[in-house]
Structure 1
Amino acid sequence: MKAILLYAYGDASQLRLEDTEIPPYGDNEVLIRMRATSINPVDLKIRSGAAKARMPVEFPAILGRDLAGEVEAAGAKVTGFPKGMRVMALANGTYAEYTVAKADVLAPIPDALDFPHAAAIPLVTLTGAQLIERAVKPKPGQTVLVTGALGGVGRTAVHVARKHGARVLAGVRGAQKEDARTLGADGIVALDDEAELAHLHDLDAVADTVGGTTVNRLLKAIRAGGVLGSVLGEPAEAHKYDIRVEAFMAQPDASRLYALADEVARGEFSIPIARILPLSGAVAAHRMAEEGNVGGKIVLVM
């Protein structure tokens, strides 16, 4: 099979399209013929070595977390996944023509979604949903500010927080405020505008997807006893405030993934795709992602 192999930490040029063996699968696993995957920030961090302390890899490694494809074969103890079934998952090793996943992480792809759109969904939607449901846990009527609200994780967090009855503020850059009106949030805040930040106070929670100086400037706007949910770890300044910090990493959840994908399929919210490239375009895709401001997910198709 063709796969994108990483032989050493470094820049995007370390990714190479090569022939390698189709991976073996166990009794509780499913062999998937990949149709599409997508690029996520964590892929760049793993490739560069920035994440090696918490997410080390063995070389040569195959990156990729988003799975969208068809069942090729299933292990002896697997039921309910016939050959040809369209499936999606938060998995590993998806920059390849075939990959293996445990059966319990696989969800059916809703009929209305094609493979590229299904591939854009798993990591960002599960991260956004778990940011709200497992970290922030808002009560109806509470005010939650979501940073990076136009990103895939942020869009999902805004959607899920609203479904839970929260009053949601979408945090974006000033130049993005018009685009953010499509999110259906209760308010929009320019996070790069000091005057707008000065008006923030008594937030019940911040759901942070961007980290850095942005979140440090928001800590003082969280009420005493409020919550900071973060996908990027605990901010350095957080200990100075009377708040609870809930930092986490997304975990596979097949049933939740199907529900989120179905909501995307029904138009309740969207995960935009900016570019679709062949698997051989992985190097270019990583470089585009590192340049930023792509305007949506970059998808690789097989």
Structure 2
Amino acid sequence: MKAVVLHEYGGPDKLKWEDVDDPKIGENDLLVRLSASSVNPVDYKMRSGAAKERFPVEFPGIIGRDVSGIVREVGSKVTGFEPGDKVMALANHTYAELVVVPAAEAAHVPEGLDVVEAAALPLVTLTGERLITLGTKIQAGQTVLVAGATGGVGRSAVWTAKKAGATVIAGVRKKQLKEAAEIGADEVLALDDDEAMEKLGFIDAVADAVGGETAEMLIGKVKQGGIFASVVGLPSNAKMHPTVHVELVRAKPDVAALETLAADVLAGKFKIPIDRMIPLEDAGEGQAAAEKGGIGKVLLVG
């Protein structure tokens, strides 16, 4: 098969389109013919070496976390899947024409959802869902501010919090206010507007997908006993707010949650914008575009 292979850490040009051996499946796995993968921040951080402490690459390596495609082979102990099924998953080594996915971590693509577009969903929707359910643990009637609300993780967090019955404030930059007004939050707040931030009272929780100075500012807006949850690392001043509970959240495969979120996307309850679709072999170009920020999902089509 063909795959995008990384031989050393570096820039987007280090991603090489090469021939590699077909992967072998185990008795509990699926072999999936890739329809698409997508570009996530963790992908280009793995490529550059910025994430090597948490996600080291064994060279030569294949990176990528999202996959959607068609089942080609089914392991001997697998039930519920057969060749030809359309599936999606949060997996590993997905920048390749063939991807091995544990059957227990594969979700069926709902009828009516394009199998290529399904590749935009696994990592960001599961991360946003966990940021709310496991991170903030927000309850009906409480108020949560989602920082980075127009991104894929943020949109998923906003929708999950609304489903829980919370009041949701979408925290964005001034230039994103118009876009944020369309994602279903109860309020929209410019995090880079000092006057607007001064007017923000204490809230029950923050769901952070931004980090940095923004996170350091927002933790001070959480009431005593409230929760600051993040997917990008805890604020450096967290110890200065001992009455605030802090939670660091990471995405993990969750078939039931992914299938529910995909059904919600199909029903138009929320969306993950797709900026462009490019061939898998041009993954370096796709990562370069995504790394600049300010765009929707980049899909790598196999």
Give unpaired runs (5+ residues) of structure 1: none
Where does residue 106 of structure 1 map in the other structure? 106
Where does residue 199 of structure 2 map in the other structure? 199
CA displacement 1:35-67 (0-9 Å, x = unmatched): 101000000111111111111121111111111
Q: Which runs of 4+ in 1 moved over 4 A?
A: none
Where does residue 216 of structure 2 map in the other structure? 216
Secondary structure at the residue paired with 2:70? strand
Where does residue 262 of structure 2 map in the other structure? 261
Where does residue 34 of structure 1 map in the other structure? 34
CA displacement 1:258-298 (0-9 Å, x = unmatched): 0100100010000010010011110110110111112x100
Give the Cα–Cα distance (whole angstroms) in 2 for the partners of residues 28 and 93 of structure 1: 17
Contact 1:190/1:196 (8 A) holds in 2? yes
Give the Cα–Cα distance (whole angstroms) in 2 for the partners of residues 55 and 199 of structure 1: 40
Cα deviation for residue 116 of structure 1 reads: 2.3
CA displacement 1:115-138 (0-9 Å, x = unmatched): 221000000000000000011111
Where does residue 24 of structure 2 map in the other structure? 24
Percent identical residues: 50
AA at the equivalent of 1:36 = A
Where does residue 286 of structure 1 map in the other structure? 287
Contact 2:69/2:116 (8 A) holds in 1? no
Give the Cα–Cα distance (whole angstroms) in 1 for the partners of residues 251 and 12 of structure 2: 25
RMSD over aligned CA atoms reads 0.7
Contact 1:201/1:220 (8 A) holds in 2? no
TM-score, length of structure 1 as denominator length: 0.98
Instruction: For 1:1-302, list aligned pairs within 5 A.
Output: 1-241=1-241, 242-294=243-295, 296-302=296-302
Secondary structure at the residue paired with 1:183? coil
Secondary structure at the residue paired with 2:250? coil
Cα deviation for residue 175 of structure 1 reads: 0.9
CA displacement 1:211-249 (0-9 Å, x = unmatched): 011111111111011100100122110110120001021
Contact 1:197/1:218 (8 A) holds in 2? no
AA at the equivalent of 2:97 = E
Give the Cα–Cα distance (whole angstroms) in 2 for the partners of residues 117 and 269 of structure 1: 14
Secondary structure at the residue paired with 1:179? helix
TM-score, length of structure 2 as denominator length: 0.98
